[in-house]
Amino acid sequence: MSDNRVWSYSAVLMGSPILLKLFSHDEALASRVFSLIKQYEDLFTVNRADSQVMDINHAAGRHPVVVSRPVYELIKCAKAASQLPESAFNLAIGPLVKLWRIGFKGDSVPAADEIAARLRITRPQDVILDDAAASVFLAQPGMEIDLGAIAKGFIADRVRDYLHQQGVSDGLINLGGNVQTLGSPQGGWSIGVKKPFAAADALVGSIEVVNKSVVTSGTYERYFEQDGKLWHHILDPRSGYPLNNELDSVTVISTDSLDGDIWTTLLFGLGVEKGCALLRQRQDIEAIFVSKNREITLSSRRQFRFTPLDASYRLTDCTA
Ligand code: FAD
Ligand code: MG
């Protein structure tokens, strides 16, 4: 399909709508990009019985598993993110994700004692890594790694690198929540920030970036309702329940989508005040917080421009 000079190619991979935008008509390139994504999906998925991550999970409590370099490096990175101070990110959250089943058939609020039991097998320090062998060992039986909060970021960066190698200077890949951009067509890429719990095309604002990743994590994409409450898919590794604070969504602007994916979860866990305090020390990471009380909080804006599009939201910034 063409829209002016932009050619859009779509697919469904990783249970998500995937969109590739190019400035030339190149079906063959698009299909190579989709197969690259599929190859990584096949390594990382926990939604099928067979993948390298599932091999590690199946061997939990029994023996280490040697994996390919990308799987090892991504797990190492996810473990480091899980061990940051006050981190809401936890790569060993798998047993709880499987228990809640949020976004999949059969989701319901589990019994409190089941949540407590599974919390005991989600300790990041029980993911034992061996750099020399590139092996991963889950020290407790029943443990499961879940890379759902980081793998799309990693893959978006690999697509960017591949497009660069292929000589593409301007383009965009959207993996469903993870956008990575190349170049600056017409002065920059414009990316919408969705309005939570509204029509699919409703936006609270739009972001303009050049050569940046834009990642959003929100409570409104995957959730179910029970007992008059909304239960969404970003779990608090301390309680085992969905993270519950003032936020509806966090969008992170960074160079690498891998960082964006990690930071959306970190910032979601910290909330606006602590999140802003941390961002003031990190010039490389920027964020947009969308709160339940209809407030949009922006970080320094050195790496992006923001245009508000919904007058019912109040704009404020991290230094306020
Ligand atoms: P993020 O906020 O970045 O991550 C949330 C996801 O991370 C949760 O869904 C959970 O998987 C995990 N998680 C929850 N809490 C935490 C925490 N505290 N710390 C760390 N991780 C946490 N969806 C389908 O419906 N069908 C599929 O077949 C399917 N296959 C997939 C295969 C791959 C390789 C990947 C990466 C994703 C796949 N998904 C699939 C989507 C997946 O289930 C998640 O919904 C998706 O990755 C969430 O991404 P996000 O950016 O929306 O959320
Ligand atoms: Mg994430």
- By CB atoms closer than 10 A (0-12, 13-18, 19+), residue 66 is middle
| Tally of helices (H runs) and strands (E runs) in the chain | 7, 18
The pLDDT value recorded for residue 2 is 45
Whether residue 234 is found in the same domain as residue 166: no
Whether residue 195 is found in the same domain as residue 268: yes
Q: Would 307 be classed as within a structural domain? A: yes
Binding-site members for Mg(2+) are 149, 261, 265
Whether residue 100 is found in the same domain as residue 219: no
Q: Would 143 be classed as within a structural domain? A: no
Whether residue 60 is found in the same domain as residue 122: yes
Picking from 285, 216, 318, 271, the residue whose alpha carbon sits closest to that of residue 88 is 271
Instruction: Give the contacts of 230 (CB within 8 A, at least 6 positions apart).
Output: 219, 223, 224
Q: Would 47 be classed as within a structural domain? A: no
Domain boundary residue, one of 83, 106, 138: 138
CA distance 138 to 60: 5
The pLDDT value recorded for residue 135 is 98
pLDDT in tens, 16-39: 999 999 999 999 999 999 999 999
Q: Which residues of 72-92 are buried (b: 16+ CB within 10 A; e: fewer)?
A: bebbbbbbebbeeeebbbbbb
Whether residue 205 is found in the same domain as residue 315: yes
Predicted TM-score (pTM) of this structure: 0.96
Domain limits for position 127 = 52-138
Binding-site members are 149, 261, 265
Instruction: Give the contacts of 299 (CB within 8 A, at least 6 positions apart).
Output: 276, 279, 285, 286, 287, 288, 317, 318
Give residues (CB < 6 A) around ligand 1: 14-16, 41, 44-45, 47, 88-90, 93, 97, 103, 146-149, 151-152, 177-178, 217, 221-222, 233-235, 237, 261, 264-265
Alpha helix (H) residue ranges in 134-287: 151-165, 257-279
What pairs with residue 9 in β-bridges?
A: 20
Whether residue 188 is found in the same domain as residue 312: yes
We report the CATH number of the domain holding residue 278 as 3.10.520.10
CB atoms within 10 A of CB 241: 15
Whether residue 205 is found in the same domain as residue 317: yes
Whether residue 260 is found in the same domain as residue 153: no
Q: Would 16 be classed as within a structural domain? A: yes
Whether residue 13 is found in the same domain as residue 61: no
Residue 140 is encoded by which pair of tokens? Answer: 């407790």
CA distance 228 to 135: 44
Bridge-based pairing of strands 16-22 and 6-13 is antiparallel
Provide the 3-class DSSP secondary structure of residue 63: coil
Q: Would 144 be classed as within a structural domain? A: no
For ligand 1, what atom is nearest to the CA of residue 41?
A: 34
Whether residue 310 is found in the same domain as residue 200: yes
Distance 179 CA to ligand 1 centre (A): 15
Whether residue 115 is found in the same domain as residue 15: no
pLDDT in tens, 101-119: 998 888 999 999 999 999 9
Domain count, the chain: 3
Helix axes 257-279, 151-165, angle to 10 degrees: 120
Picking from 252, 241, 244, the residue whose alpha carbon sits closest to that of residue 275 is 252
We report the CATH number of the domain holding residue 123 as 1.10.3980.10
Whether residue 26 is found in the same domain as residue 158: yes
The pLDDT value recorded for residue 4 is 58
Pick the ligand that lies closest to the CA of residue 95: 1
Regions of the chain where pLDDT drops below 70: 1-4
